């Protein structure tokens, strides 16, 4: 049986290998005379070091200049010299995937961080694929419980929806992702940590995610010290893994922290290959890569990928280029507010600036009406908050403001939630309907 299995692979073994030679190294890029290859192909650079002996460094074709192949390595440029042999593989990066990966922490190449070999029985999948045909995407009709009251109650998410979490640094993005990963009713979590500080990777896994969350998750991490190509590949590898499980009928939760660092990594590559800087220094390829990455998630004929993408807004500017581009692609956005965080409200979700574009289509009319009423009361209070705080408003002047003053502490109490607290979707809906009807049972 084993021999028959091996015979099947004989036609796939290449009979001709293509080689080239390194001719120049400039900045982040390696220039090679050959081999014949296409954009995205992986090449092997053979390095002979007097210290470490023969090594193979993987690199990806990122461009061409005249007849020169421009490569970017997945690892360090050290020890690469003029004349190093470049072997073309003729195919893009692939990673091995299977249920055996659940509970593991992987790098951008899909290799375990603990140093152990990958389990047997995995299948290879390309990291880059086309998004599903829009005409084969089933409509989103089912709610997905994430266990966070502010989201389930005011910004209900559907199974297969793509949502952005927009915030400045230190406002609680990782903490919110950890809550969602532990509490969600999705079948599996795939978590991509792109450009994180090395210290924060283990902290997120042990503190924010915890053993309960990790037991139903696959984590892909690329720290900030790794090359730009590795940071980008972390996002594409995580998406490919999520697609594998979606195609097997699962409802997958993909969480990526953060899309902004993916864009920054692509900007590094774009500038290195000679692209002109456009908006705030971001190259045109940045705005081309975002939709091709983000559109791969969502629904298909087999399963769903519900995606949460964090966006690090520079200087809390919600209209900076990456935030604006991502907001236009996704199906909703959740804004974390530094002012609310400073007041001790966690999660610091500003429900007035946040929106779920599918909530009205996937929830009951009673739930939608209750959420709309609380939003109106909260907006009325926020509009008059300065006058109320300095004592310039006199009770009885406006019935709407008086009502908003009464409801504001009740709404704030509803939106607050302890880091380890888990609240069911049914409980959240009952609570928000009761609150909108007069504050009973809150």
Residue 176 sits at the vertex; the CA angle it makes with 249 and 239, to the nearest 5 degrees, is: 35
pLDDT above 90 coverage of the chain, percent: 58
267 with 235, same domain: the answer is: yes
378 with 346, same domain: the answer is: no
358 with 379, same domain: the answer is: no
Domain of 373: which CATH number?
1.20.1270.330
114 with 83, same domain: the answer is: no
85 with 168, same domain: the answer is: no
Residue 440 has pLDDT above 50, yes or no: no
Give the residue from 92, 119, 135 where a domain finishes: 92
Domain of 219: which CATH number?
3.40.50.12240
Q: How much is the pLDDT for 442?
A: 41
111 with 248, same domain: the answer is: yes
Q: How much is the pLDDT for 212?
A: 86
Q: How much is the pLDDT for 220?
A: 96
Residue 143 has pLDDT above 80, yes or no: yes
151 with 173, same domain: the answer is: yes
pLDDT above 70 coverage of the chain, percent: 95
Region at 280 (left for phi over 0; alpha for psi -120 to 50; beta for the rest): left
What is the mean pLDDT of the segment spanning 120-144? 92
Tell which residue, 420, 401, 412, has the closest CA to residue 442.
Answer: 412
| pLDDT, the chain, mean | 89
Per-residue b or e along 156-191, where b marks 16 or more CB atoms closer than 10 Å to that residue's CB: bbbbbbbbbbbbbeebbbbbbbbbbbbbbebbbbbb
The number of folded domains in the chain is 3
pLDDT category at 294 given cuts 50, 70, 90 is: very high
- Whether 1 is covered by a domain: the verdict is no
106 with 88, same domain: the answer is: no
pLDDT in tens, 338-357: 889 888 889 999 999 999 99
Question: Cα(128)–Cα(106) distance, rounded to whole angstroms?
Answer: 18
Give the residue from 363, 388, 403 where a domain finishes: 363
Question: Cα(173)–Cα(255) distance, rounded to whole angstroms?
Answer: 11
349 with 403, same domain: the answer is: no
Q: How much is the pLDDT for 439?
A: 57
Structural domain for 227, as ranges = 95-363
Residue 1 has pLDDT above 50, yes or no: no
pLDDT in tens, 236-263: 999 999 999 999 999 999 999 889 999 9
Given CA atoms 423, 429, 434, 437 in this order, what sign does their dihedral have?
positive
Domain of 83: which CATH number?
2.40.30.20
237 with 331, same domain: the answer is: yes
- Whether 5 is covered by a domain: the verdict is no
285 with 314, same domain: the answer is: yes
- Whether 3 is covered by a domain: the verdict is no
**Higher pLDDT, residue 145 or 2:** 145
What is the mean pLDDT of the segment spanning 96-119? 90
Q: How much is the pLDDT for 283?
A: 93
- Range in 34-48, 188-202, 310-324 the model is least confident about: 310-324
Q: What is the 3-state secondary structure (H, E, C) of 279-331?
A: HHHCCHHHHHHHHHHHCCCEECCCCEEEEEEEEECHHHCCCCHHHHHHHHHCC
Predicted TM-score (pTM) of the model is 0.90
Question: Cα(421)–Cα(183) distance, rounded to whole angstroms?
Answer: 9
How remote is the C-alpha of 417 from its chain's centroid? 23
- Whether 2 is covered by a domain: the verdict is no
133 with 252, same domain: the answer is: yes
Locate 391 and state its tokens: 């004592």
Greatest mean pLDDT range, 6-15, 58-67, 319-328, 362-371: 362-371
**Higher pLDDT, residue 117 or 434:** 434
- Whether 24 is covered by a domain: the verdict is yes
Give the residue from 363, 384, 414 where a domain finishes: 363
Residue 441 has pLDDT above 50, yes or no: no
């Amino acid at each position: 049986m084993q021999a028959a299995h091996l015979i099947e692979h004989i036609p796939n073994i290449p009979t001709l290998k293509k080689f080239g030679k390194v001719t120049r190294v400039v900045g982040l890029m390696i220039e090679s005379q050959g081999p014949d290859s296409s954009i995205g192909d992986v090449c092997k650079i053979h390095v002979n070091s007097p210290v470490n002996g023969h090594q193979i460094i993987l690199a990806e074709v990122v461009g061409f200049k005249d007849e020169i192949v421009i490569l970017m390595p997945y690892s360090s440029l050290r020890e690469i010299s003029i004349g190093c042999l470049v072997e073309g593989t003729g195919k893009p990066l692939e990673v091995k995937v299977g249920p055996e990966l659940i509970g593991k922490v992987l790098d951008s190449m899909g290799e375990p961080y603990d140093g152990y070999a990958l389990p047997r029985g995995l299948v290879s999948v390309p990291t880059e694929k086309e998004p599903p045909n829009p005409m084969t995407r089933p409509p989103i009709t089912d709610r997905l419980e994430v266990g966070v009251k502010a989201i389930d109650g005011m910004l209900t998410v559907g199974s297969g929806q793509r949502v952005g979490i927009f915030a400045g640094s230190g406002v609680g993005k990782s903490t919110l992702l950890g809550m969602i990963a532990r509490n969600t009713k999705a079948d599996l979590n795939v978590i991509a940590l792109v450009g994180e500080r090395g210290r924060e990777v283990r902290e997120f896994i042990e503190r924010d995610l915890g053993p309960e969350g990790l037991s139903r998750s696959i984590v892909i991490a690329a720290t900030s010290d790794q090359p730009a190509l590795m940071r980008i590949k972390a996002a594409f590898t995580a998406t490919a893994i999520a697609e594998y499980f979606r195609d097997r009928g699962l409802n997958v939760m993909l969480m990526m922290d953060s899309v902004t660092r993916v864009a920054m990594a692509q900007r590094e590559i774009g500038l290195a290959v000679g692209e002109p800087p456009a908006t705030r220094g971001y190259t045109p390829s940045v705005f081309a890569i975002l939709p091709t990455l983000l559109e791969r998630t969502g629904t298909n004929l087999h399963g769903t990928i519900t995606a949460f993408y964090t966006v690090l807004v520079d200087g809390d500017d919600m209209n900076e280029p990456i935030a604006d581009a991502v907001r236009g692609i996704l199906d909703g956005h959740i804004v974390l507010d530094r002012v609310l965080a400073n007041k001790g409200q966690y999660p610091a979700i500003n429900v007035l600036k946040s929106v779920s574009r599918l909530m009205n289509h996937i929830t009951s009319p009673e739930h939608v009406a209750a959420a709309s009423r609380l939003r109106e009361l909260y907006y009325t209070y926020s509009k008059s908050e300065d006058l109320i705080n300095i004592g310039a408003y006199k009770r009885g002047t406006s019935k709407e403001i008086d009502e908003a003053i009464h409801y504001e502490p009740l709404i704030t109490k509803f939106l607050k939630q302890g880091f380890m607290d888990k609240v069911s979707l049914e409980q959240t809906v009952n609570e928000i309907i009761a609150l909108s009807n007069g504050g009973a049972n809150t």
